[in-house]
Amino acid sequence: MYKKFILSHHTNEKSFVWRFFIMKKWMIVCSALLVTVTVTGCSQQKEMMPVSGAIDHTLVTNVVDSKGTGIGSAELTETAAGVRVRLQLKGLEPGEKAIHFHEVGKCDPPDFTTSGSHVNPAKKQHGFDNPKGYHAGDLPNLKVNKNGIVDLEITTPNVTLEKGKSNSLLDEDGSTMIIHEKKDDYVTDPSGNSGNRIACGILK
């Protein structure tokens, strides 16, 4: 019994020592894995962190008609190619319409004259076909479909959403996006013979 006890005791001791040895090895392995996972996780997290300079600057504005009623929205995004304008509008008369950026961030219906003249820091004349043109705020005509809907994108390299620039839409008093009742002839100063201002969106 004594030998058996001793043997049992030694067997248990060896078993204990062996279990301890195994547990120690597992603790070392687990610690190593934990460090690896932590470092990998931190590395991945670091790689996924956005760089501020790569983030697009986006501005969304509501567009109202001459009665002050909302007719849709304009989303402006700063991109490498310039300012991208996404227009989603309804309730307009079908046909081509002029659209320009104006220099003051006010939309007072019904005529929106408080929005001032076109954004024009270079002091040029109006129109893409004008030899003395064109304004930074000039944009291609938009087309309203037969249902009175506009759903399109325009990208212009002539303005920016970056504050502090001479051609910025976001100066101290902001600016506006104006839609006219007629199409722009791209040559007549100061607004392309485009008629009354029928819709407006404030950009601030």
pLDDT per residue, tens digit, the chain (204 aa), is 323 322 233 334 444 333 434 444 444 444 444 434 333 343 333 333 333 333 458 999 999 999 999 999 999 999 999 999 999 999 999 999 999 999 999 999 999 999 999 999 999 999 999 999 999 999 999 999 999 999 999 999 999 999 999 999 999 999 999 999 999 999 999 999 999 999 999 999
- Rounded distance between C-alpha atoms, residue 174 and residue 158, angstroms: 16
- Rounded distance between C-alpha atoms, residue 142 and residue 152, angstroms: 8
* 18-64 tens-digit pLDDT: 343 444 444 444 444 443 433 334 333 333 333 333 345 899 999 99
Strands 150-156 and 99-102: unpaired
* The predicted structure's pLDDT at residue 73: 98
Question: What type of residue is 90?
Answer: K
* The predicted structure's pLDDT at residue 49: 31
Length of the chain in terms of residues written: 204
Q: Is 26 exposed, middle or buried (0-12, 13-18, 19+ CB in 10 A)?
A: exposed
89 contacts 174 by C-beta, under 8 angstroms: no
Instruction: Tell me the two tokens of residue 59.
Output: 């501005």
- Rounded distance between C-alpha atoms, residue 11 and residue 171, angstroms: 85
56: CB partners within 8 A, 6+ apart: 77, 78, 79
- Rounded distance between C-alpha atoms, residue 179 and residue 174, angstroms: 17
Query: What are the beta bridge partners of residue 96?
Result: 143
* The predicted structure's pLDDT at residue 56: 59
- Rounded distance between C-alpha atoms, residue 9 and residue 2, angstroms: 10
194 contacts 183 by C-beta, under 8 angstroms: yes
91 contacts 71 by C-beta, under 8 angstroms: yes
Is this model's pTM higher than 0.75 or not?
Answer: no
* The predicted structure's pLDDT at residue 154: 96
Q: CA distances (Å), 71 to each of 64, 67, 117, 139, 177, in order?
A: 6, 10, 23, 20, 13
* The predicted structure's pLDDT at residue 57: 85
* Tokens 């392309």, located at residue: 192
